[in-house]
Structure 1
Amino acid sequence: MNQDIAGLIRSVPRVSLLSGPTPLERAPRLSAELGVDLLLKRDDLTGIGAGGNKLRKLEFIVAAAQKEGATALITTGGAQSNHARLTAAVAARLGLKCYLRLKGVAPADVGNVLLDRLFGADLDFWDEPNYDIVNQRMAALAAELRKKGEHPVAVPLGGATPEGTLGYALAFAEIMQQAAALGGVPDYIVLAAGTGSTQAGLLLGAKLSAASTRIVGVSVSWAKDILAAEVTRHTLDGAKRLGVALTLKPDDVWIAEGYVGPGYAKPSPLGRAALTRTAQREGVLLDSTYTAKGMSGAIDLIEKGVIPRGSRMVFVHTGGTPELYTRAPEDLLG
């Protein structure tokens, strides 16, 4: 299958939000140390809302919501959710109301929480560990808002929708074009994988364009089998949204596990080392929840020879740096 990705997606409604294409930058000092040609896809520089990968998804998600006549967006996530922060920023840009119902006990107004408030979101915290129940409560909130004359649209955790997945199929084509201009397409694209829809979009892009590039998701939360199933589901749902018949082999979905550390959103020793190494070699900031753990996986796979030395690798920086400003020095510096 060798499809024109941009051509396929052109008919899908989209709101222009991205300041792009985002840079694809060489990482010369890390490349020299690791023995690979490492490029950084700077999706932390997407534009509004302090940047991050969710903006590519929201271009399609919000366009679909507006087509339904949405006046408000509702979404959820952890206390320092990057997705929630960007949903609030997009709602502010487009004149929509935004209701954020985040998991846990309300923390101090720092990092993403501070930004959520600055963007004008209606913010509340539900001390509920089960996302199924959170989703039920979001549906109840939507029903209340409809009674008040609003037309709310609920956006799933992480922007994990078929439309959202298309944002990263398009990003795959962007990476391929930029990498070719820098000397050749990558052997591997590595990223931190949370809900799996960003990895799914990149995998969909690779399958549509018949590229040999392997997509590697470093799990920062879920068990390997759960995340692999989600990546598979989102990839196939994205293809279905485009009207494309697609099959996946089990080894198409590459999940690297063992890098979560003590738990989701808790700094790990390997992640801390990757965060400081990237900052001190390249002057690029990662975050301790997602990208530092993703980079720690990329480094470990290279050092173990799973990704061979001499390979060309793109690391997708999915954003999240506001989270750094919630951390104590010992969280980041050891």
Structure 2
Amino acid sequence: MNLAKFPRRGYVTDATPIEAVPAFSKALGGKVNIFIKRDDLLPGCAGGNKTRKLDFCIADALEKDSDTIITCGAVQSNHCRLTLSWAVKEGMDCHLILEERVKGTYSPQASGNNFLFQLMGVKSVTVVPGGSDMMGEMKKLEAKLSGEGKKPYIIPGGASNTIGATGYVSCAEETLQQLFEMGLNIDHMIVPSGSAGTHAGVVVGMVGCNAGIPVSGINVSRPKDVQEGIVHKLAQETAERVGVKGSIAAEEITCFDSYVGPGYSLPTDSMVEAVKLLASTEGILLDPVYSGKAMAGLIDLVRKGHFPEGANVLFLHTGGSPALYAYLDTFMD
């Protein structure tokens, strides 16, 4: 794979650390060795995984001479926060369309990412009901802004198209080089699985490099069969884009959906336990929507003996900790 042929902005200049978390591993019984790939430490306002995707997406926008970014997400979207931050850095306007997936959860006075949207000077925020056609809503805004003389560029939710997923093909390559330099053999990798770009990109990178490291996604919204289909489709399309020979087998895509709880972004007891346990043992913050639920899944799999004793398991930390501050009641209780 020659990823150098694709335009990018250079937002990712250094490899994010891979850290052992021995106190956390010990708290889970000490039979499995857990490591964390710290993509929460990526550049961009408050960090997070979307920077890798936006590195490629915004480069594409600028190549198309765009001056305005339109994107979408949930009401506390980390993707929207990071898209806005990089648009600000590039001197571009940014408009957000937020989906109120749980009725009554949006408040313009909310803390967390909602506060940061205003702090960074978002050009507009449009809130639509859960289940809305988000691409349709972005297209309507695109037409309006074009009529006003702007040159808008749409980035899909999570930057999860083949352009954005290329950022996580690169992450897989980066991770394998780090593991080689560390002399560390990883037996399994766990990633959050939501809009699918991160999960699909990592799988494509691992398959393309013949790594032999199984990758499992912990769902944050959809049922297992639906999510696996979405990830597989995007992985196949991304593999074709980056030049991976052959197709991505369906067996390469594994998702677990037992940790979603009552719905996307809605707290669960296991998520709260995961966030508190990692914070209190390692001083690392998760978020309540993605990485918290994904870590809850990892914890449960360890406790159930899913991984053999002595296994080295790598967790991809996708960031999102600013959203914690919109969930104070959940954690203070």
In structure 2, the residue matched to 1:129 is 130
Say whether residues 1:70 and 2:66 are aligned partners.
Answer: yes
Matched ranges for 1:161-176 at <5 A: 161-176=161-176
Residue 80 (structure 1) shift: 0.3
Residue 109 (structure 1) shift: 3.7
In structure 1, the residue matched to 2:292 is 292
What's the TM-score, normalizing by structure 1? 0.94
Could you say what the CA RMSD is over the residues aligned between the two structures, in angstroms? Answer: 1.4
In structure 1, the residue matched to 2:103 is none
Residue 250 (structure 1) shift: 2.6
Identity score, percent: 34
**Residues 111 and 323 in structure 1, CA contact (< 8 A), matched pair in contact too:** yes
Summarize deviations over 1:27-52 as a string: whole Å, max 9, x none.
01122333222111111110121100
C-alpha distance in structure 1 between counterparts of 2:232 and 2:245, whole Å? 14
In structure 1, the residue matched to 2:98 is 102
Change (3 A) 1:243 1:205: closer
C-alpha distance in structure 2 between counterparts of 1:295 and 1:180, whole Å? 25
**Residues 10 and 55 in structure 2, CA contact (< 8 A), matched pair in contact too:** yes
Matched ranges for 1:169-248 at <5 A: 169-248=169-248
Which piece of structure 1 moves more, 174-183 or 313-322? 174-183
Say whether residues 1:56 and 2:22 are aligned partners.
Answer: no
Which of 3, 11, 14 lines up with 2:5 in the alignment?
11
Summarize deviations over 1:85-138 as a string: whole Å, max 9, x none.
000000000111100111124442411011111221123232322242x32121
Summarize deviations over 1:164-223 as a string: whole Å, max 9, x none.
111001101111122223332311111211111101010001110111111110001111
Residue 19 (structure 1) shift: 4.8
* SS of equivalent to 1:263: coil
In structure 2, the residue matched to 1:36 is 32
Which of 20, 24, 29 lines up with 2:18 in the alignment?
24
Residue 150 (structure 1) shift: 0.9
C-alpha distance in structure 2 between counterparts of 1:80 and 1:115, whole Å? 10
Please list every run of 5 or more consecutive structure 1 residues that lacks an aligned counterpart in the other structure: none
Number of residue pairs the alignment of both structures matches: 326
C-alpha distance in structure 2 between counterparts of 1:232 and 1:333, whole Å? 39
In structure 2, the residue matched to 1:113 is 114
Which amino acid is 2:237 matched to? D
Summarize deviations over 1:252-296 as a string: whole Å, max 9, x none.
101011001121111101111111111111111111111111011
Which piece of structure 1 moves more, 192-201 or 107-116? 107-116
* SS of equivalent to 1:127: strand
Summarize deviations over 1:47-82 as a string: whole Å, max 9, x none.
121100000000001111111111100001111000
Summarize deviations over 1:225-269 as a string: whole Å, max 9, x none.
111111111111111212434323332101011001121111101
What's the TM-score, normalizing by structure 2? 0.94
Which piece of structure 1 moves more, 184-193 or 77-86? 184-193
C-alpha distance in structure 2 between counterparts of 1:129 and 1:95, whole Å? 31
**Residues 189 and 215 in structure 2, CA contact (< 8 A), matched pair in contact too:** yes
**Residues 111 and 326 in structure 1, CA contact (< 8 A), matched pair in contact too:** yes
Please list every run of 5 or more consecutive structure 2 residues that lacks an aligned counterpart in the other structure: 101-105
Residue 139 (structure 1) shift: 0.5
